[in-house]
Amino acid sequence: MLTPSNKYDAQIEALLSKMTVAEKVGQMNQYNGFWDITGPTPEQGDSKRKYEYLRQGLVGSMLNVKGVEDVRKIQELVVNESRLGIPLIFGFDVIHGQKTITPIPLGESASWDLAALEQSARVAAVEAAALGINWTFAPMIDISRDARWGRVMEGAGEDPFLVSKIGAARVRGFQGDDLSQWDTIAATAKHLVGYGFAEAGRDYNTVDVGTSTLYNVLFPPFQAAIAEKVCTVMNSFNVVNGIPATGNHFLQRDILKGTWNFEGFVISDWGSGIEMIAHGFARDLEHVAEIAANAGSDMDMESDAYASHLEGLVESGKVKMEVVDDAVRRILRVKFELGLFDDPYRYCDAEREKTYILHPDHLATALDMAKKSIVLLKNDGQLLPLKKDQSKIAVIGALADDKNSPLGSWRLGADDHSAISVLEGIEALSVPFTYAKGADVSIGPETFIEEIQINETDKSGFAEAIALAESSEVVIMVLGEHGYQSGEGRSRANLDLPGVQQELLEAVYAVNPNIVLVLMNGRPLALPWADDHIPAILECWHLGSQSGHAIAATLFGDHNPSGKLPMTFPRHVGQCPLYYNHFRTGRPGPLDLVFWSHYIDESNAPLYAFGHGLSYTHFDYSDLVIDASDQKAVKVQVKVTNTGAVGGEEVCQLYIHDKVASIVRPVKELKGFEKFYLAPGEAKVVEFTLTEAELGFYNNAYEYVVEPGEFGVMVGTSSDVGLTGTFELK
Ligand code: BGC
């Protein structure tokens, strides 16, 4: 948590009074790492200019510089050579781990385990800090309801309550409770706001959200992050009500810094300033600087707008000095909080690099998180878990042998091909099996910046895979998306198994239907055929460094899966956006005639609901008791019993429905959850309390209200299965 803002006020004011306008503007300028830092001084072009700017104290922050040697070299340049020696803050996309990679955030979120999520972020912070980084551009807390959007992998799903809790846990994990320690780093709540509502799921596309959704769905995770004293907020690429977020005064000044009293600083997204020209909102780069600074975007990432024009705009009076001073105060405060003025090299200790990177404890955290992220979607006839001494196991699918895909796409600090593959995981358990690839998923280069090419034609491995399946008792098929098929710039118009994989699945099924389907993917997939035919399906996302060990432990019963979906899985891409907490419509149906809200060629229902996830045991729900005698603290109790033969963890979920209100309310809203372990035969009474915080919403006048009337309650194992009751608020 940040210390109270006044702690450093005197020092900040003293420093500010010494700064020239150019130096102040410099603090608001962030550059990408750009030259071989330990090599010769850049002699020409853009690199030379950036180098000179650094020396002159005209840069406040760098991104994408990592490694103690490089960070120290740049910090020395600035501290020793610039007039005031104000240290830089070093930002990096530490999204799900630095060198030790934990599951993609959407996968981690399926754990619904806040302590584990906090620990995962903690480990990421320690490794990043050991490499000289002191600021991460995470957590991403954009709500998204559209599986086509590639960045759903980076978020915590579709529900504002869950995303708020997870975002807060991850902020705590990154920032710890004392930012000045070497192993805590500043976090970023991003992207303000609405980026996950890109139309048609196409990245960077137009966003058009109504104010009720803005206040009740998109804002709450940011409010929760600010309550955890998140140091920075990143604005988004998109427009909100026709105004790009970077130039949006209402979002950044009125709401964020006004109503919410945010004390940290706003970082623009990469080039989101200059993109206001493409949006048709700014005439030129000078106009960008004017609009963005006045709207409250404090630091400019890679647009060069402030560095080029802000000083002139202050001189001409188009941007007031107070605007610049406010931004600089905010930036300096975070630098003070991080302890950079006490020791600019606080994060530069080469010994730590050796000690903490890929530390065994970190790998243990990654394994634990990977196991907790796995969701058992289907298990007919209890095919899972498999027996370790089962004879004739076939493993099919290129992803089973893939050490790269499980790292996902946001793993800039990791070594390529460093994940434990599924094959390696099964081998480590000494379980005998035979492997056949079947078909490649991708062909060509696998990089963060290039479009991945999918194998759409080569089926030359089919025959071998089919023959193997035919002679085996059980087939583990590892199918899904390449790690570089989700993430930024990686939207999909299809939610199927890419390339020839569906064909491979059906061909193998034709000779041996005894299939366990292990899915690897960065977003919900729409796989109705698999759900209809395949007896057991495990959702394994992209699980990071320890992926194969977690998957093998789950396949062979050393781990009982407990994950629950943080996002709805559609039956068909045409249903998107699809989410559980929708409104009713005036024609919810079904009706006898066609005139109700439905498709004539597909069901309205999802394939797997939000919150869905099975276990190798069974949890029975009984004895729902609702006590509304204290109207400020409505108590809901339920008894959960493990009626199966093995121990397991359950996530008990509470949903409410405000039946009639001054603005329509969702059919269901998650308002509580608890995760716990029950031994076979063990029971537990779970108790929830519903207060104003859970029962209210922002009305049409944007006031937070709790309105009287009847509320529905559902408590259960997912958003579509539970015990129901009602209570009345008078
Ligand atoms: C992304 C941000 C990220 C930034 C810096 C942008 O393209 O949208 O989320 O933090 O790049 O790498």
Cα three-residue angle 260-263-267, rounded to 5 degrees: 100
Q: Is the pLDDT of residue 163 over 50?
A: yes
- 290-313: b (≥16 Cβ within 10 Å) or e: bbbbbbbbbbbbbbbbbbbbbbeb
Q: Is the pLDDT of residue 552 over 60?
A: yes
Average pLDDT, the chain: 97
- Whether 448 and 539 share a structural domain: yes
- Cβ-based neighbours of 119, under 8 Å, separated by 6 or more: 173, 365, 369
**CA dist., res. 362 & res. 357, Å (int):** 8
- Whether 432 and 537 share a structural domain: yes
- 53-91: b (≥16 Cβ within 10 Å) or e: bbbebbbbbbbebbbbebbbbbbebbbeebeeebbbbbb
Q: Quote the pLDDT of residue 4.
A: 52
DSSP per position, 655-708:
EEEE-S-SS---S-EEEEEEEEEE-TT-EEEEEEEE-HHHH-EE-TTS-EE---
CB atoms within 10 A of CB 14: 9
Nearest CA to ligand 1 atom 11: 270
- Whether 562 and 643 share a structural domain: no
Structure tokens at 498: 């890419």
Q: How far is the CA of 106 from the centre of ligand 1 (A)?
A: 17
Structure tokens at 613: 């996830």
Q: Is 92 in the pocket of ligand 1 (CB under 6 A)?
A: no
- Whether 563 and 629 share a structural domain: no
**CA dist., res. 316 & res. 307, Å (int):** 16
Q: How far is the CA of 232 from the centre of ligand 1 (A)?
A: 14
**CA dist., res. 293 & res. 298, Å (int):** 6
* Containing structural domain, residue 664: 619-729
Residue 270 in domain: no
**CA dist., res. 314 & res. 526, Å (int):** 53
Encode pLDDT of 42-73 as tens digits.
888 888 899 999 999 999 999 999 999 999 99
**CA dist., res. 142 & res. 127, Å (int):** 25
Which atom of ligand 1 is least distant from the CA of 64?
A: 12
Q: Are 616 and 384 in contact (CB under 8 A)?
A: yes
CB atoms within 10 A of CB 281: 18
Q: Is the pLDDT of residue 3 over 60?
A: no
Q: Which runs of consecutive H residues, i.e. helices, occur in 148-194? A: 160-175
Q: Is 142 in the pocket of ligand 1 (CB under 6 A)?
A: no
Encode pLDDT of 247-276 as tens digits.
999 999 999 999 999 999 999 999 999 999
Q: Quote the pLDDT of residue 641.
A: 98
> What residues are paired with 235 via a beta bridge?
192
Q: Is position 389 annotated as part of the catalytic site?
A: no
Q: Quote the pLDDT of residue 527.
A: 98
Q: Is 269 in the pocket of ligand 1 (CB under 6 A)?
A: yes
CB atoms within 10 A of CB 381: 8
Q: Are 439 and 501 in contact (CB under 8 A)?
A: yes
Residue 44 in domain: no
Domain end marker among 556, 575, 594: 575
Q: Quote the pLDDT of residue 44.
A: 83
Q: Is 195 in the pocket of ligand 1 (CB under 6 A)?
A: no
Q: Quote the pLDDT of residue 2.
A: 44
Residue 526 in domain: yes
Nearest CA to ligand 1 atom 6: 270
- Cβ-based neighbours of 514, under 8 Å, separated by 6 or more: 383, 473, 474, 475, 535
Nearest CA to ligand 1 atom 10: 137
**Amino acid identity for residue 528 in this structure:** P
Q: Is 720 in the pocket of ligand 1 (CB under 6 A)?
A: no
Q: How far is the CA of 574 from the centre of ligand 1 (A)?
A: 29
- Whether 561 and 690 share a structural domain: no
C-alpha closest to that of 137 among 312, 45, 266, 271:
266
Residue 634 in domain: yes
Options 93, 269, 298, 720, the catalytic residue? 269
Nearest CA to ligand 1 atom 8: 269
Question: How many domains are contained in the chain?
Answer: 2
Pairing of strands 434-436, 393-396: parallel
Confidence tier at 195 by pLDDT (50, 70, 90): very high
Q: Quote the pLDDT of residue 352.
A: 96
Q: Are 562 and 372 in contact (CB under 8 A)?
A: yes
Residue 563 in domain: yes
Return the percentage of the chain with pLDDT > 90, whole number. Answer: 96
- Residue 673 sits in a domain of what CATH number? 2.60.40.10
Domain end marker among 509, 543, 575: 575
For 293, what's the count of Cα atoms within 13 Å in the CB-facing half-sphere?
Answer: 35
- Whether 674 and 552 share a structural domain: no
- Whether 553 and 634 share a structural domain: no
Q: Is 135 in the pocket of ligand 1 (CB under 6 A)?
A: no
Encode pLDDT of 264-317 as tens digits.
999 999 999 999 999 999 999 999 999 999 999 999 999 999 999 999 999 999
Q: Are 205 and 197 in contact (CB under 8 A)?
A: no
For ligand 1, mutation pick of 66, 93, 191, 303 (most atoms within 8 Å of CB)? 93
Q: Quote the pLDDT of residue 35.
A: 73
Average pLDDT of 98-102? 98
Q: How far is the CA of 379 from the centre of ligand 1 (A)?
A: 39
Q: Is 270 in the pocket of ligand 1 (CB under 6 A)?
A: yes
- Whether 531 and 657 share a structural domain: no
- Whether 639 and 559 share a structural domain: no
**Residue 505 per-residue DSSP state:** H
Q: Three-state SS for 651?
A: strand
Encode pLDDT of 676-693 as tens digits.
999 999 999 999 999 999
Structure tokens at 94: 């530490």
Q: Is the pLDDT of residue 34 over 80?
A: no
Q: How far is the CA of 2 from the centre of ligand 1 (A)?
A: 24
Residue 169 in domain: no
C-alpha closest to that of 481 among 499, 465, 493, 507:
499
- Cβ-based neighbours of 562, under 8 Å, separated by 6 or more: 111, 372, 613, 615, 648, 649, 650, 651, 675
Which atom of ligand 1 is least distant from the CA of 154?
A: 9
Q: How far is the CA of 188 from the centre of ligand 1 (A)?
A: 11
Q: How far is the CA of 667 from the centre of ligand 1 (A)?
A: 34
Q: Is 488 in the pocket of ligand 1 (CB under 6 A)?
A: yes
> What residues are paired with 677 via a beta bridge?
649
Residue 485 in domain: yes
Q: Quote the pLDDT of residue 5.
A: 62
**CA dist., res. 340 & res. 346, Å (int):** 7
Confidence tier at 1 by pLDDT (50, 70, 90): very low
Q: Is 137 in the pocket of ligand 1 (CB under 6 A)?
A: yes
| Residue entry with tokens 């998306």 | 481
- Whether 367 and 453 share a structural domain: yes
Residue 288 in domain: no
**CA dist., res. 649 & res. 642, Å (int):** 9
**CA dist., res. 396 & res. 507, Å (int):** 12
Q: Is the pLDDT of residue 422 over 50?
A: yes
- Residue 498 sits in a domain of what CATH number? 3.40.50.1700
**CA dist., res. 446 & res. 313, Å (int):** 44
> What residues are paired with 135 via a beta bridge?
91, 186
**CA dist., res. 306 & res. 327, Å (int):** 12
Q: How far is the CA of 270 from the centre of ligand 1 (A)?
A: 6
- Whether 528 and 657 share a structural domain: no
Average pLDDT of 133-153? 98
- Whether 629 and 569 share a structural domain: no
Which atom of ligand 1 is least distant from the CA of 138?
A: 10
Q: How far is the CA of 543 from the centre of ligand 1 (A)?
A: 21
Q: Are 294 and 243 in contact (CB under 8 A)?
A: no
Which atom of ligand 1 is least distant from the CA of 191?
A: 9
Nearest CA to ligand 1 atom 4: 270
